[in-house]
Amino acid sequence: MIKRQVPLVLTFIMGLWAVVAYFVPHRYVADPAQQFQRWYLIILAFTTVIGVGNLIMVHGEKIQRRQRGWGYSVILIAMILLMAGLGYFGNVQEGTPYYWLYQNVMSNLAAAMFSLLAFFVASASYRAFRARNKEATLLLVAAVIVMFGRVPVGSYLYRLIPWVGTHYPNFMNDLTGWIMNFPNTAGQRGIMIGAALGAVSMALRMLLGIERSYLAASGGK
Amino acid sequence: MSFLTKALTLDRRWIFLAIGIVVILFLLIPITLPVDVTPESQGVYDTIEALPSGSPILVAWDFDPASKPELEPMALAVIKHCFRRNLKVVAMGLWITGAPLIEQDINQVKANGFQNKKYGEDYVNLGVKVGGYVVVNTMAQSIKDAFPTDYFQTPLEQLPMMQNLKTLRDFPVVISFSAGDPGIKDAWVPFAHQRYHCIVAGGCTAVSVSEFSPYLQTRQLSGLLGGMRGAAEYEKLVDAKALATKGMNAQSFAHLMIILFIVFGNVAFFLTRRKRVQGAEGPRVQG
């Protein structure tokens, strides 16, 4: 019972306090809330340890069992230990081995991985943007207008069109802006409101102990 | 297999190759296309321009190296603007993997015409603290609680600039370069702006522009630099054309290439559909 009830009671008290502290600035409410937030930052640091520990366990097991791709696991664990060691025992500022590895290995690899998205977006656009029906056609037209209008060459080419380009030089920019500021914003606002209502509902369920999935398997029953 | 069917089932590696060639080519060819400044980017510029000389400004590097190509150019342009206006820059971040980027970017701007800027008097680097909106909330009560020392382990009391900057409320403006969460949407707008009444502006990756546009309409964000285009616009505003302006050339023609592929794909789709309707031979191709 203690394993189940104590976490639920703690969640209720701390969660309710955080909500009340948002509206009540009195020091008897706000000061403890501030202290709770300091505790949160400390606990967050410990979750890094758990995360790294879990990573090492999973990949260590992969290496031990010589599963497919175990060589990459060796590199992963070696780099974790190397970067952590260099940062902990050395310095992290410019001119240090840690900084060199960050600047010349991690930074470039991370940027390259994200940049791959550009190629996949191009390929996905080719396959997805087909005018199969009215809705797909609308999506296609809007996408092409925004892609064209959001880059300098779009405005430049538009202004070369005879008469229209000279009499209405900002039409392409304005049309792109209208699509982003009205239909897009309306849709985004709807999504945000829906997500916020869902988050409020989930938070209420967790505070009241109805939702217990955050507890360990045995405590969540 | 007919040409149209081959076109509809084009191996994506040809598309990758075409995009790769276009991007590399137009990074090397020195074309300069004119960039039009949007009201959103002008908003960020006007927000900083409206601050009196010597005002403090909080600048948050809420991104990691993966988003560096899009967000670093705008960070460099904004810091240049801040230094030119003699604003007191307090730099920090919420993303742990972005910590070294802060010092790197400030040093890069300093090396280009601002060697007279002194650490501790004109700018401070607080480093990174993980915790998202909790860090912002903590800073609102006491910056020292969130950042007892700066990035170089110097206690804040020893930094002259931080003597009068005790809480988040001492900053009239917060600029955040945000690659996702934590960032503008879940930390700076709901807390720094809504609760503590700081003016918030910032920049984001191009894919995130649409999700921040509601905040622009309600003036919860006074301005937004959207992706590399926003960075190029800001470079134009501060008259310091650099990486983003160059990158927009490549992006422009990559977009054109994608549009051409889309048109080509649709033409092939319609011709295939017409042939099928007319009873032509050939495999039924799903669009």
pLDDT digits (tens, 9 = 90+) for B87-101: 999 999 999 999 999
Q: Which of chain B's residues have a Cβ under 8 Å away from the Cβ of A103?
A: 100, 104
What does the pLDDT average to over B117-121?
95
Asked which of A18-22, A24-28, B142-146, B282-286 is least confident by mean pLDDT, the reply is B282-286
Q: Which residue of A has its CA nearest to B9?
A: A127
Q: Which of chain B's residues have a Cβ under 8 Å away from the Cβ of A102?
A: 65, 100
Q: Which of chain A's residues have a Cβ under 8 Å away from the Cβ of B233?
A: none
What does the pLDDT average to over A173-198?
94
Give pLDDT tens digits for A89-109: 988 888 899 999 999 999 999
CATH 3.40.50.10160 assigned to domain B39-240? The reply is yes
Q: Which of chain B's residues have a Cβ under 8 Å away from the Cβ of A93?
A: 100, 103, 152
Residue with tokens 């309707």: B277
Mutate which of A123, A135, A191, A192 to disrupt the B interface (most B C-beta within 10 Å)? A123
Using a CB–CB cutoff of 8 Å, tell me whether B20 touches chain A: yes
Cα dihedral B93, B95, B98, B99 in deg (nearest 10): 50
Using a CB–CB cutoff of 8 Å, tell me whether A189 touches chain B: yes
Mutate which of A36, A127, A144 to disrupt the B interface (most B C-beta within 10 Å)? A127
Q: Which of chain B's residues have a Cβ under 8 Å away from the Cβ of A94?
A: 100, 103-104, 107
What does the pLDDT average to over B255-267?
92
pLDDT at B41: 96
Q: What share of chain A is helix, strand, coil (3-state, %, to 5)?
A: 80, 0, 20
Nearest chain A CA: its distance from B85 CA (Å):
27
Give pLDDT tens digits for A123-157: 999 988 988 899 999 999 999 999 999 999 999 99
Distances B161 to B124, B126, B148, B164 between C-alpha atoms, Å: 8, 12, 15, 7
pLDDT confidence bin for B284, thresholds 50/70/90: low
Mutate which of A26, A31, A37 to disrupt the B interface (most B C-beta within 10 Å)? A37
Give pLDDT tens digits for A43-58: 988 988 899 999 999 9
CB contact under 8 A, A103 and B20: no
Domain ranges of chain B: 3-31+248-277, 39-240
Nearest chain A CA: its distance from B141 CA (Å):
8
What does the pLDDT average to over A79-88?
93
Domain ranges of chain A: 1-89, 129-221
pLDDT confidence bin for B153, thresholds 50/70/90: very high
Task: Dump the DSSP string for B131-147.
Answer: -THHHHHHHHH-HHHH-
My answer on whether omega of the bond before B182 falls inside 30° of 0, hence cis, is: yes
Q: Tell me what ipTM this predicted complex has.
A: 0.84
Q: Which of chain A's residues have a Cβ under 8 Å away from the Cβ of B36?
A: 152, 155, 170, 173
Q: What's CA B60's distance to the chain center, in Å?
A: 11
Using a CB–CB cutoff of 8 Å, tell me whether A88 touches chain B: no
Q: What is the CA radius of gyration of chain A?
A: 27
Q: What's CA A10's distance to the chain center, in Å?
A: 28
Q: How far apart are CA A57 and CA A120, in angstroms?
A: 33
User: Looking at the partner chain, which of A30, A113, A185 has a beta carbon nearest the beta carbon of B66?
Assistant: A113
Give pLDDT tens digits for B170-181: 999 999 999 999
pLDDT at A217: 58
Count how many Cα atoms sit within 13 Å of the Cα of residue B165 in the half-sphere of its side chain.
28
pLDDT confidence bin for B1, thresholds 50/70/90: low
Q: Which of chain A's residues have a Cβ under 8 Å away from the Cβ of B217?
A: 181, 185
- Which stretches of chain A are assigned E, i.e. beta strand? none
CB contact under 8 A, A192 and B211: yes
Tell me the average pLDDT of chain A: 90
Asked which of A20-34, B128-142, B269-283 is least confident by mean pLDDT, the reply is B269-283
Using a CB–CB cutoff of 8 Å, tell me whether A193 touches chain B: no
pLDDT at B281: 55
pLDDT at A216: 67
Using a CB–CB cutoff of 8 Å, tell me whether B41 touches chain A: no
Q: How far apart are CA A51 and CA B156, in angstroms?
A: 31
Cβ contacts from A onto B, under 8 A: 161
Using a CB–CB cutoff of 8 Å, tell me whether B257 touches chain A: yes
Q: How far apart are CA A15 and CA A141, in angstroms?
A: 47
Distances B270 to A81, A131, B14, B15, B262 between C-alpha atoms, Å: 56, 9, 21, 20, 12
Query: Helix or strand or coil: residue B81?
Result: helix
User: Looking at the partner chain, which of B33, B138, B217 has a beta carbon nearest the beta carbon of A152?
Assistant: B33
Angle between helices A185-207 and B209-217 (to 10 degrees): 90
What does the pLDDT average to over B9-20?
91
Query: Helix or strand or coil: residue B14?
Result: helix
What does the pLDDT average to over B46-59?
97
pLDDT at B52: 96
Tell me the average pLDDT of chain B: 92
Give pLDDT tens digits for B198-256: 999 999 999 999 999 999 999 999 999 999 999 999 999 999 888 899 999 999 999 99
